Amino acid sequence: MINEAMTSTPYVWIPNTITEALDMKRKLGLKAEFIAGGTLLQLQWEKSGEMPKHLISLENITELTGITEYKEKELSIRLGALSTLSHCLKNELIKKYAPFLQEALREIGCISVRNRGTIGGNITGVYGDLLPLLVAIDAEIEVFTPKGYERKKIVKWLEERKLNRIYEEIVTAIYLKKQYESTFYQKVGGREAFILSTLTVAGYIEKDKEEIKEVRLVTGYANNETKRLFNCEDWIKKNVKKREDLRLLKEKIRKEFRPYTDAIASGTYRQKLACNIIEEKVHKVLFGEKMKEEGL
């Protein structure tokens, strides 16, 4: 049974199961949007001045809540999509196995936004501040579709959403593995309630003794989609053996990362930020110390 409440506009629907919620979305189509915390939607509405005719609230669907251990080949943490950012900040499992996530969450929004905003909402906006980090750590996403539950790499999910802008799915959870010691994240931009980021950078580097086994460098900003710097990643794996080798990294970043200019910041400024942040973070992960201001 679906309860319906009505404000002036839009209509607010409150399904009790995930099947009801998806059926309602399929029936209403582009006239409706899912809502949980509503912080990202509020940003979009304030920017466009338009609201959907229908809102489908997910707040009563219990299977979208909770943070639990999930044991398979490797221990994972399952984050229910309705987990608030504040809840994740306080959760002991995340503190123990994924402290990098809590470090990132402290840079996202003000307290009121973190109290209302959810993991699922941050991700489904496509431009959420957490996406670069989740791509960097190769996280997985679980969605509910007309065919049932599906679980896939979050980077694959993002590619699919680029190709198909009409979605028939509900994000149900995010899965994080117990690892990622060499992970970094930095957001540049205001933490006010509804300020888009100037730049968000995340990365993951895996080493086996002196060999660099894996590198993932990811950027995101404002309304720009999350982007991996594949050429830079490959160059680091093949060429960086000692700290002096990193002198060419900024040049590689400038060639690959070409951000645009908007009302928040210029493309040149964003590019300079990315060069400085990535060089500093990569140096610290690989060589265990901060770079000196005058050079490596």
| Residue 92: Cβ-neighbour burial (10 angstroms; 0-12, 13-18, 19+) | exposed
Residues spanned by the domain of 10: 3-57
Looking at the fold, whether 113 and 129 belong to one and the same domain comes out as yes
Looking at the domain assignment, is residue 295 inside a domain?
Answer: no
| Single-letter residue type at 125 | G
Which tokens belong to 256? 């690959």
CATH number at residue 104: 3.30.465.10
Looking at the fold, whether 109 and 154 belong to one and the same domain comes out as yes
Task: Give first-to-last CA distance, the chain, whole Å.
Answer: 64
Q: For residue 143, give Cα distances in angstroms to 13, 81, 198, 235.
A: 20, 10, 29, 34
Of 88, 1, 74, residue with least CA distance to 37: 88
CATH number at residue 263: 3.30.390.50
Report mean pLDDT in 10-residue bins for the chain, 296 residues: 54 94 92 79 63 89 92 82 93 90 85 82 79 94 95 92 77 86 86 70 90 94 87 97 93 96 93 97 86 50
Per the structure, the count of domains in the chain is: 3
Looking at the fold, whether 172 and 199 belong to one and the same domain comes out as no
Give the residue from 57, 83, 100 where a domain finishes. 57
Looking at the fold, whether 36 and 109 belong to one and the same domain comes out as no
CATH number at residue 38: 3.30.43.10
Q: What's the pLDDT at 17?
A: 96
Looking at the domain assignment, is residue 292 inside a domain?
Answer: no
pTM: 0.87
Mean of all residue pLDDT scores within the chain: 86
Give the residue from 177, 203, 225 where a domain finishes. 177
Give the residue from 148, 177, 206 where a domain finishes. 177
Looking at the fold, whether 69 and 170 belong to one and the same domain comes out as yes
Looking at the domain assignment, is residue 296 inside a domain?
Answer: no
Looking at the fold, whether 67 and 172 belong to one and the same domain comes out as yes
Looking at the domain assignment, is residue 166 inside a domain?
Answer: yes
Of 276, 273, 291, residue with least CA distance to 197: 273
